[in-house]
Each structure stands twice: as C-alpha cells, then as structure tokens.
Structure 1
Amino acid sequence: MSNDYKFEGWLGLDKDAVEGKMQWKEFEPKPFTEDDVDIKITHCGICSSDIHVLRSGWFPTQYPCCVGHEIVGRAVRVGNKAERGIKVGDRVGVGAQAASCLKPDCEECTSGLEQYCTNVNCSTYNGNFADGSKSYGGYATYNRTPSHFVFKIPDALDSADAAPMLCGGVTVYSPLKKNGAGPGKRVGIVGVGGLGHFGILFAKALGCDKVVGISRSNQKRDDVLKLGADEYISIDEDKDWATKHARTLDLIVCTVSSPKLPLMDYMQLLRTNGKFVQVGAPEDILPDFNALAFIGKGATFGGSLIGAPHEIEEMLQLAADKKIKPWIEQRPMKEANEAVVDMVDGKARYRYCLVNEESK
C-alpha cells in the first residue's frame, strides 16, 4: 500500500535550533512494516526533553532532528500485524519510546519494563530503530511508530490534554504507582512545572492522604493549591522549612532538572523507610549528599524513566475515569519556534501543546 502524504516537520539542524531556528522540511521516516502505524498528527506536547535534545544538552544530537514525543492524531495507515486492535481512523497517541527489542529472552521486555530494554531502545525522536533508520518526532504532519508503542486515546480525554500525558504524565505516574502512592501515603512533588503539575494531579487521583507541592518561591503557591495539593513549601521563602516538615513524607518525586538541588534538606522530609525518586534529568551532575541521610532512616534514593506501555494505558484510563484536567496552553504548530523559546524562558503554565489546525 502506498501513501499520498508527506512527512514534514520542524527540523533542528544544529544546536542553535533551540533559539527558535528550527526549519520546516520534509523527512524520511523508517521503512513501513506490518507492525507499524502511520498517524496524521493533530496535537503534540512540548516537553523539556525537546529542549535538551535540540541543544545537544544531554549528548550530541543526530541532526537533522524533529523533536516531539507527546503525539496524538488519527491512524491513517495500519499494518496487518498491529497490536491493540488499532484501525484506520482511530484516535491514537505515541509517547517517548518508539521501539524496544520485544524478544522473549529479554528480561525487561517480558517483564513490562520495555523502557529499560538494553538491546533496542529507540526514542520517538533522535533514536535509531533496529534496522538503523532514524526516528522523527511529532512537530510534524505525520508520525510512523511500531504499534506496540501506539495507544488508543479514551473518548473522555481531549486530545490537547492527552498528548502531554504520554510523556510528562506517565513520567510521574509510573514512580507514584510503583512506590505505593495511594490511601495512607503522604507524597511530595518537587518542582511545579509541566511534570510537577501532573504529579500533583495524579497523586490526588490515586487517593494519597496528603500531597505537598515543593518549589523555590511562593510564586506558584496559589496554582498548586488550585491543582489540589494540600500544602505548599517554598524552599527559598519558608523559614526552616526542612526542620518544620521533617519526617512528614513517605515519598518524594523530584521533577527538577537543575543540578542545584538541596538534597540533604529534601532527605529530612522523608519518614522512616521513605523513598526519594528522581525523574528530572539535569545536563550536569547532582550535588553531593551524605549517605547517612539515607542510612539513618532506611530511606531509598532512586530514579524512574518515562513509563512502560501498560502503564501509559492504565494512566490514560485513570485520567479519563477521574476527569483529570491538566493545565494546557494550545499553540499553533506553525508557531513551534516561538513556543520553544517561550518554553526555554519558563513561560509555560504548565504545558504547551502544538496543534495542527488543518489536521483537526
């Protein structure tokens, strides 16, 4: 089957692309296989990962690169081996991962931990599939992704709301769920941005006894309380906050991607056997901390990477059932360069979603 549509998008040609210098160009997707789904993109969230990759912040980027891994649209071509019963015309989405090996002898893939596969782990953009072809993301007209990583979007979810959940949402949902967030638990979310605001929404939806938003200034206090948090801590403006709130939290999920974290103070907030999970990925190293901060209370320091396919499906259904409404600002796809610059400047409250008006 041939297609009569072009894969075009905003391409970063070098690290200056992050300064609003992406260029609209045609690109060649991976060769189509019977496991694949072609998606006519209607919405694509802007994630901070897009910024890191555009500027080669984490590691050298494979330019040209089309970023965007919070994709929602309509399936326009579906291979005859596609999973999840996806059909042409279905509203579907893609998150931050496009492929893993899925081999029966892969411990990660057979355990529902595909995002940690060490054999083939292809990101939705700036990655390479097993055949060596490059992956291209969602600041574009179309996307092609293997169906194992394509998800039906529940009817109850608006596309602009669902798109940022596919990376930003599941990045916090996964560690919350895995670490027992729910009734009887008290949870802190460090950093109240695109990830952090999802953390508050999902912690409340999971039924946690107490949810605390933690940020530097008091600027976001009102927003955090409106999102449903029970309490707010400003680490710059609340006097003796670490001592005052010592041993009050069972779990802390840290979404901040700055290396300037007061880790020793955050450790004071944990109760005995508490857990600190880092999901924000700084381009620099984390600060030093004293191991006794963990040893002395049996606490755990860990990390979490996006989410597995089954977690994305579970999260989307929870969002639909609980009528979760993230704070999303829609921006035209044609203004992607301006939106990226605004994202870098921290203007998003709390997530931008690019919209292909003609595709809608």
Structure 2
Amino acid sequence: MGSTEYKFEGWMGLSPESADGKMVWQEFQPKAWEETDVDIRITHSGICGSDLHTLRSGWGPTMYPCCVGHEIVGVAVRVGSQAEGNIKVGDIVGVGAQNDSCIGRKGDCEECASGLEQYCPNLMGGTYNSKHFNGDKSYGGYALYHRSPSHFVIKVPEGIPSALAAPMMCGGITTYSPLRHNGCGPGKKVGIIGVGGLGHFGIMFAKALGADKVVAISRKANKKDDALKLGADAYIATDEDAGWVKNNARSLDLIVSTVSSSKMPITDYISMLKPSGNFVQLGVPEDGALTIPAAALIMKRIKFGGSLIGSPSEIREMLELAASKGVKSWVEEIPMKDANKAILDMDAGKARFRYVLVNEQ
C-alpha cells in the first residue's frame, strides 16, 4: 500500500495574475481516495503552454485555486487494491493531460470502450482545472504529490530518463497521436508548423515513424539549426524565405500545426499539401477563431481537422517507440521552487524546447 504521511502542496494560481509569475505555494485537498487510485511523489513536471492559458483564464474562466501541470513523472507511493496496469509502489510512472473519464464506470461510453478515452462524451477529466467523476476537483503537477485514477497512470519504460519522459506525457503525445492517426510513415512527406515544445516532438516523432521527408516551418530562420538537429530534412522561414509558397506547392501529404494564432496564413499552408492531403490543427488560439479557407480545401479535396492529446494506450505505444528509437526530449531542468520565473520565461519563448520542474528533495 505505502504510507500516506505526506502533504499535497503545490504552486497555486489564485487569479489570472498568477500567470505573471504570481503563483502561491500552498496545501490543497486532492480527490477523495478510491481503491482504483495511485498516489505519485512527483519528481518531474513539464511546463506546457496549456498551463499558461489556464492560469490566465485564456480559454474561459479557470476554477481558482488551480495547480497546473500535466506532464507528470514520479514514483508511485500508494497503489489502490483495485488499481489497473500492474503498478507497484516504487515504480516510475507518469500522467498526462487527462486523468479521468467514464472508463470502468457503469455504462461506460463507446469511446472509452474503444481506447479513445480523450474523446469521452461524459468526462474528459483534465489533470488540473477539472472535476473528477466523483465530483472532486483535480490538481496538477507543479506540486509534491499527485493523485490519479490508475487507468491514466503510465509506467515509464526503462531507458527514458524521468526528465525526458515528463514532456512526452502531453507535448509528445499531442503530436504523436495525429501523426500516427493520419498515417505518418514510409512514403509520406510531413510538415510541422511551429518549432517549440510541441513542434520539436512533431519533428522527432515524424522521423521515428519513418516519414520520408520532414519539413519544419516557422516564421523566422533562428530555429533552423535546431530543427535540422532534431531531424528535419528541410526548413521554411515564412517571414524570410521569398517565394516559399510557390516553391513548396503540392509537396506534402500531411501538415501538423502546433501554433496558437488566428493570424496564421492557413491558405498558404494548405497550398503546400498534395491533393487529398491532411491539415491537423493542435493549437487553440486565444485571439479569435481560425478562418476555414473553403476554396483551398475544395480544390484539392483537403481534410482540415484537429486532434486532442492521446489515450493511455497511445501514450504507452509512443513511449515504447521513443525508447526503441532513442527519441530524446530537449529539456531544461529547473528547480520546482523557481516555477514562477520558469512560466515567465516559457511565455517569453525562451524554452528550447521544454522546461521541466524538478522536486529536489
């Protein structure tokens, strides 16, 4: 079982100003313990763009007080008698952006039954700023401990250091899932828009899945060297490369967009797709809606869609691929005590490409 002589404490956002580096360290009440749960002593917690959106109520009103962080890796310290996944006390485990759904409950849904828990119509239980199935609030990973239903707790394979596994739990799977779902592999030419926390994973996983060509797309040329080191075969700087639209017309099968701006030149991006190509949007803009370029879609039978994180089974598959292909997240480790500075640096675009908070005790 493991002892429960520990406190749930973490960095809490109390208002939208918390995103300005004003989170407060305090105790919180985790969900009521159920025998299907696992308690994790957090060692590493990645910083995700979603954390900043949520702290500042960018996607709608946040349920303050809120402890963000959904790229959690640590040690299982308490395992319920009905826990799934063969987890034992002492195992290195992780939790991503979802830690509850209607799975295993009476009348669980078609999505959960078919391994698509992230699309559960009854409960997409976010790891923070959400409600659990039992009605209790969820609190995330900028903390000492995390309590999660075991179905969403993933064993981290040997060979992936915890600091590198943490950002894969959200950033990694958010790009892996649409690549996998849309047939990324040998024979495919893939574009990744945005070379950041998500985009750097997009480049690496597209290569790990065997894509023939991976093109990194950003506004400026300043990330070109990094993109090529990550495995990109080509780089387009849309603000600086004259003629990039014409020069790259009909060259790609699949584009995954990680950027969160309503101002992006979608029609130009779609011109890069071959007929019957796919455009998948991952970033959710705070600054307005995206315009659907109907004519550009119609003229080449383009599919324009989106994708949300990934299921526990997909996360396991991704981690196995990462272990076998040596995919390594680019991270900078930062002491948990410096979380307020870290979110400001993240917001300023300084991360190359993921910050990971580390509990040093």
Q: Which TM-score bucket, shorter chain as reference?
A: over 0.9
Matches within 5 A, 1:64-213: 64-102=65-103, 103=105, 104-213=107-216
**Shift of residue 70 of structure 1?**
0.3
Answer yes or no: is 1:357 the counterpart of 2:360: yes
| TM-score of the superposed pair, with normalisation by structure 1 | 0.98
Q: Which runs of 5+ in 1 are unaligned?
A: none
Residue 335 of structure 1: how far off its partner (Å): 0.3
- Alignment deviations for residues 120-149 of structure 1 (CA, whole Å, 9 cap, x no partner): 221000000122110000000000000000
Q: Deviations over 1:224-269 (max 9, x none)?
A: 0111100000110011111110000000000001211100000100
Structure 2: give runs of 5+ residues left out of the alignment. Answer: none
SS of match in other structure, 1:192: coil
Answer whether contact 1:37 1:150 (CA < 8 A) is retained. Answer: yes
Count residues with an aligned counterpart: 358
Corresponding position: 1:325 with 2:328: yes
Equivalent of 1:339, from 338, 342, 345? 342
Corresponding residue of 1:316: 319
User: Aligned partner of 1:59: which letter?
Assistant: G
Query: Please, which of 279, 294, 303 is the counterpart of residue 291 of structure 1?
Result: 294
Q: Aligned equivalents of 1:94 and 1:209: distance in 2?
A: 32
CA distance in 1, matches of 2:93, 2:261: 33
Please point out which of 248, 259, 272 is paired with 2:275: 272
Whichever residue aligns with residue 19 of structure 2, its letter is V
Q: Which moved more, 1:121-130 or 1:282-291?
A: 282-291
| Structure 1 residue 286 displacement after superposition | 3.4
The range that moved more, 321-330 or 173-182, is 321-330
- Please report the TM-score for the alignment, with normalisation by the length of structure 2: 0.98
- Supply the AA of the counterpart residue of 1:19: D
Secondary structure, counterpart of 1:21 in structure 2: coil
**Which residue of the partner structure matches residue 50 of structure 1?**
51
Are 2:266 and 2:293, in contact at CA under 8 Å, matched by a contact in 1? no
Alignment identity in percent?
Answer: 64
Aligned equivalent of 1:17:
18
* One-letter amino acid matched to 1:89: G
By how many angstroms is 1:326 displaced? Answer: 1.6
Going from structure 1 to structure 2, the CA distance change for 1:13 and 1:314 (only over 3 Å counts) comes to same
Partner Cα separation in structure 1 for residue 70 and residue 119 of structure 2: 17
C-alpha contact (below 8 Å) 1:260/1:286 kept by paired residues: no
CA shift at 1:287, angstroms?
A: 3.7
Q: For 1:236, which of 239, 245, 256 is the aligned residue?
A: 239
CA distance in 1, matches of 2:4, 2:108: 35
- TM-align CA RMSD: 0.9
Letter aligned with residue 348 of structure 1: A
How far apart, CA to CA, are the structure 2 residues paired with 1:198 and 1:144? 27
2:64 aligned partner, one-letter code:
Y
Does 1:62 find its partner at 2:74? no
Paired letter, 2:232: A
Distance in 2 between the 1:292 and 1:262 partners? Answer: 14
Q: Does the 8 A contact of 2:102 with 2:108 survive in 1?
A: no
Shift in Å at residue 105 of structure 1? 4.6
Q: Does the Cα contact within 8 Å between 1:189 and 1:196 map onto a contact in 2?
A: yes
Aligned partner of 1:195: which letter?
A: L
The answer on whether the counterparts of 1:261 and 1:286 sit within 8 Å (CA) in structure 2 is no
Deviation at residue 289 of structure 1 after TM alignment: 3.9
